[in-house]
Copies of this chain bind each other. A is one copy, B any other.
Amino acid sequence: MTISDFTEAELIARIQHNLPFPPDWLLVGIGDDAAVVQPERNRAEVFSVDALVDGVHFDRAFVPPDAIGHRALAVNLSDLAAMGAQPRLALLSMALPPRLPIADFDQIVLGFSRLALEHRVHLAGGNLTRTPGPLLIDVTVVGSVKRRQALTRKGARPGDELYVSGTIGGAAAGRQALQTGRPVDGLPMASCARQYLYPEPRVRAGVMLARNRAVRACVDLSDGLADAVHQIARASSTGAVVEAGLLPLPPPARDWFHAQGLDPAVAAVSGGDDYELLVAVAPRHGRRFNAVAARAGVSFTRIGACTDGHDVVIRSSAHGGAFDAPLTHTGYVHFR
Say yes or no: is A307 at the interface (Cβ < 8 Å to chain B). no
Interface positions, chain A 24-42, Cβ under 8 Å from B, are 27-28, 31-39
**Does A299 lie at the interface of the complex (its beta carbon under 8 Å from any beta carbon of B)?**
no
Complex-state Cα separation, A304 to B38, whole angstroms: 34
A91 near B49 with CB under 8 A, answer yes
- Residues of B with C-beta under 8 A to A79: 33-34
CB-CB under 8 A from A85, the residues of chain B are 34, 36
Q: Does A45 make an interface contact (CB < 8 A)?
A: yes
On whether A49 and B125 interact (CB within 8 A), knowing A32-B152, A56-B132, A133-B134, the answer reads yes
Q: Cβ of A3 < 8 Å from any Cβ of B?
A: yes
Q: Are B138 and A33 in contact (CB under 8 A)?
A: no
* Cβ–Cβ contact A48 & B27, under 8 A: no
List the number of copies, as a whole number.
2
Pick the residue among B33, B130, B140 that contacts A91 (CB under 8 A).
Answer: B140
Given known A-B contacts A36-B83, A48-B125, A150-B36, A133 and B130 have beta carbons under 8 A apart? no
Interface residue A9 (Cβ < 8 Å from any Cβ of B): yes
A150 CB to nearest chain B CB (Å):
5
In Å, the complex CA distance between A79 and B125 comes to 12
Q: Does A62 contact B (CB under 8 A)?
A: no
Chain B contacts for A56, CB-based, 8 A = 129-132
A55 partner residues in chain B, CB cutoff 8 A: 132
With contacts A38-B147, A127-B49, A152-B32 taken as known, whether A335 is within 8 angstroms of B8 at the C-beta atoms is yes
Q: Which residue of B lies closest to A228 (CB)?
A: B33
Docked pose: A95 CA to B124 CA in angstroms: 23
Known contacts A4-B335, A98-B335, A333-B7; A129/B32 CB under 8 A = no
Contacts of A11 in B (CB 8 A): 335
- Which interface residue of A3, A140, A145 has the most chain B CB atoms within 10 A? A140
A206 to chain B minimum Cβ distance, whole angstroms, is: 10
Known: A44-B36, A83-B36, A96-B335. A51 touches B129 (CB 8 A): yes
Q: Name the residue on B nearest A45 (C-beta).
A: B37
Nearest B residue (CB) for A3: B335
Q: Which residues of B contact A152 (CB under 8 A)?
A: 28, 32
Contacts of A7 in B (CB 8 A): 332-335
Chain A interfacial positions (CB closer than 8 Å to B) = 3-11, 27-28, 31-39, 43-51, 53, 55-57, 79-80, 82-83, 85, 89, 91, 93, 95-96, 98, 124-134, 136, 138, 140, 142-143, 145, 147, 150, 152-154, 218-220, 235, 331-336
24 A-B pairs within 8 Å (CB atoms) are namely A4-B334, A7-B333, A9-B331, A31-B235, A32-B153, A33-B80, A33-B83, A33-B219, A34-B46, A34-B80, A35-B46, A35-B48, A36-B150, A38-B45, A48-B125, A49-B91, A49-B125, A49-B140, A53-B95, A56-B130, A93-B138, A130-B335, A132-B134, A140-B140
Could you list 14 further interchain pairs (A-B, Cβ under 8 angstroms) beyond the known A37-B47, A45-B45? A9-B332, A11-B335, A28-B83, A32-B153, A32-B154, A33-B153, A33-B220, A34-B47, A36-B145, A47-B125, A47-B140, A49-B93, A98-B336, A131-B136
